[in-house]
Structure 1
């Protein structure tokens, strides 16, 4: 059954699509787009019910993100990234959730998780310094998840390295305007953020290892299969869902434009077997990406629901397929883009924006195929994964 949030997104979809060009020009989501997304409930799908969320099945979250991205890739990307943060915050000290959502359940949390900062231990917590690029949707968020290495007391990472995810309120970091000038996903406003000597209480931190292995929830008395899923399954889910949704939007634009198009030869495209064949194949490939992405996260959720363990092999299979979903869908868009005619390159043609957004989406580290495929081959052979390779499996 389609979730009510997905149905709502379909209803507001034309409004989202009409704002996509403005978001690209602004280099961030417009206030009107943000209002539409807040009203839709997409960003609350993984939020605890206690704080105004749906605590929904991750399948519903993926489908909602794809629905948004079909109309505006940048808006879908922000939903996919920002929308997963309530899932992680729910697994941390309950004081944090109360701070974030106690007064406003529509409060958003940005990221990035890359450990670009140094968190020096002090009494009661850490002092954080660093600079992080790619904080998607930061302009519209009041908190930020940031990755940091635990310091050695001298401004260097402690060895062996220990990585934290830390959460800061807007007053403790600076968003740097002018740091997001890109060729695709411009409307995401994925700007740099800087932190200078901010104190982070211990309860606003979590060890990356705990969230990675799906152990954090249990340590804070949080139950439910949703919050016991591993990070490397949930974090990529929203991002890949956005890419697949972008590709669905590209396909819809292509089909709409080809229906009445006439080639320079005078042949109607509807009578061109080569374009139609490519269109049909692309539709099949993009649909396969959607099905496989949703199937992967559903299988992990079902294992936990049945009281079974999610093994490293299970996780690796889902990661392998998730990466392949993105590349398969974008490759299909390339095939139809090449057959869409000269007008596809015009700035007022939404297909070229979907095409650029899709390719920029592939640049995210979670879509790098080599490591995911390599790790999966090792797990199939029952061989040990090197520790760095386990981080996103």
Structure 2
């Protein structure tokens, strides 16, 4: 595990995660039933300062490094999946606003204190150029944590003018819009990740000023340190890896006391006393620990390499994708073992283990950790080109200093 280039705020932020544990656990069922993060948990996150963890120091953030983000996502998901997922979404979304918006845009978004930002970054709308900005129309899916956000971040394709490609400027933009101009659809009735509030949402011909936009997906950092010069994929993957690891570890946490109480009706012995169960538990723990070490090694080495200067290679991008998919798959495997071994009591909604089983299988469907990461890595090893726009380096800063 890399220990260089780590955030000085790491210990305090991990302590803050521990401080919100009680309230997150107390309201976990409320988030699940309400299908969005419970208001007391949102208030606790805001008061803790954790929502600022990813943002540039110029806007009040901590500028955490990727490994610290992984650890915080892991710790939060181990407490409550909705809390862990929403925290990473809100923190990263606010960081994008703080790092990549022009100065005038930052002044607007941050003028009433540190904002809660959420949304979906994949381009799913259309932006039509008008004087001073764009008129946006579109519908986006999976707007995690959007119901408690004040600002929504999304991306859109810039419409051609007079049937021609835009003469200048980006073909894709990311934009910030106040939530009052967004229509949230009540679509998030799901089996997994219920507490994350990942509803669809629409923007219908809303004006967005130029100052509230930046290019997708390689915008140059306008403020902050080197971490904001990372391309998109290495920026978002630590949260996915940490979430998966935290879910699996919580599943094992829940299993141990249940196995000690559960009696096999066929043998009249405790499950915890079964040599077969003990062997499976040891294997699950080893798989999870090895996966964690592998993920830290890959992400840590890429972060160290980036600090040494120069763009990341296709091999490094592919390795990060592979680590994310692998961590999620192993987490699903370990959590499934825990679910199966816990017995019929796991079926009750009051058992956290059934929620963690549903949530990790929900997380396996995310595009960032999809199965084709394995194929892409294999193709790369065989000498094929697996380049992708999300692997592209960010544009150079415009006279903005780094760390």
- Structure 2 CA distance for aligned equivalents of residues 353 and 338 of structure 1: 13
Aligned residues: 381
- Structure 2 CA distance for aligned equivalents of residues 189 and 356 of structure 1: 15
Residue 188 of structure 2 is matched in structure 1 by: 180
1:11-32 deviation per Cα after TM superposition (whole angstroms, max 9, x unaligned): 3323312211111011111111
Q: Is the 8 A contact 1:292 1:322 kept in 2?
A: no
Matched, 1:43 2:51: yes
Query: Do the aligned partners of residues 391 and 376 (structure 1) sit closer, same or farther apart at CA in structure 2, a change above 3 Å counting?
Result: farther
1:291-328 deviation per Cα after TM superposition (whole angstroms, max 9, x unaligned): 33333332222122222432222111111111111111
Q: Is the 8 A contact 2:23 2:40 kept in 1?
A: no
- Structure 2 CA distance for aligned equivalents of residues 231 and 330 of structure 1: 25
Matched, 1:243 2:244: yes
Q: CA deviation at 1:202?
A: 2.1
Q: CA deviation at 1:175?
A: 1.7
Residue 384 of structure 1 is matched in structure 2 by: 385
Matched, 1:169 2:178: yes
- Structure 2 CA distance for aligned equivalents of residues 93 and 379 of structure 1: 37
1:48-76 deviation per Cα after TM superposition (whole angstroms, max 9, x unaligned): 12222111222112211111111111111
- Structure 1 CA distance for aligned equivalents of residues 60 and 272 of structure 2: 49
Q: Is the 8 A contact 2:67 2:238 kept in 1?
A: no
- Structure 2 CA distance for aligned equivalents of residues 73 and 223 of structure 1: 29
Query: Do the aligned partners of residues 389 and 51 (structure 1) sit closer, same or farther apart at CA in structure 2, a change above 3 Å counting?
Result: closer
Query: Do the aligned partners of residues 5 and 209 (structure 1) sit closer, same or farther apart at CA in structure 2, a change above 3 Å counting?
Result: closer
Q: Is the 8 A contact 1:375 1:389 kept in 2?
A: no
1:330-388 deviation per Cα after TM superposition (whole angstroms, max 9, x unaligned): 11111221111111111111100110011111111112111x22332343345433657
Superposed counterparts of 1:21-100, under 5 Å: 21-89=29-97, 90-100=99-109
- Structure 2 CA distance for aligned equivalents of residues 96 and 250 of structure 1: 42
- Which of 101, 105, 122 in structure 2 is aligned with 1:114? 122
SS of residue paired to 2:342: coil
- Structure 1 CA distance for aligned equivalents of residues 300 and 258 of structure 2: 35
Q: CA deviation at 1:246?
A: 1.5
Residue 123 of structure 1 is matched in structure 2 by: 131
- Which of 152, 156, 177 in structure 2 is aligned with 1:148? 156
- Structure 1 CA distance for aligned equivalents of residues 60 and 335 of structure 2: 37
- Structure 1 CA distance for aligned equivalents of residues 301 and 211 of structure 2: 32
* Structure 1 residue ranges without an equivalent (≥5): none
Q: CA deviation at 1:36?
A: 1.7
Q: CA deviation at 1:109?
A: 0.8
Q: CA deviation at 1:152?
A: 2.4
* Structure 2 residue ranges without an equivalent (≥5): 1-7, 394-403
- Structure 1 CA distance for aligned equivalents of residues 153 and 304 of structure 2: 28
- Structure 2 CA distance for aligned equivalents of residues 156 and 332 of structure 1: 52
- Structure 1 CA distance for aligned equivalents of residues 164 and 331 of structure 2: 41
Superposed counterparts of 1:337-376, under 5 Å: 337-370=339-372, 372-376=373-377
Residue 311 of structure 1 is matched in structure 2 by: 313
- Structure 1 CA distance for aligned equivalents of residues 336 and 235 of structure 2: 27
Give the alignment's Cα RMSD to 1 decimal: 2.5
1:150-206 deviation per Cα after TM superposition (whole angstroms, max 9, x unaligned): 1125899989x9322221122321222x21111111111111211111112223222
1:260-280 deviation per Cα after TM superposition (whole angstroms, max 9, x unaligned): 332223202221111122222
Q: Is the 8 A contact 1:46 1:58 kept in 2?
A: no
SS of residue paired to 1:84: helix
Q: TM-score, normalised by structure 2?
A: 0.87
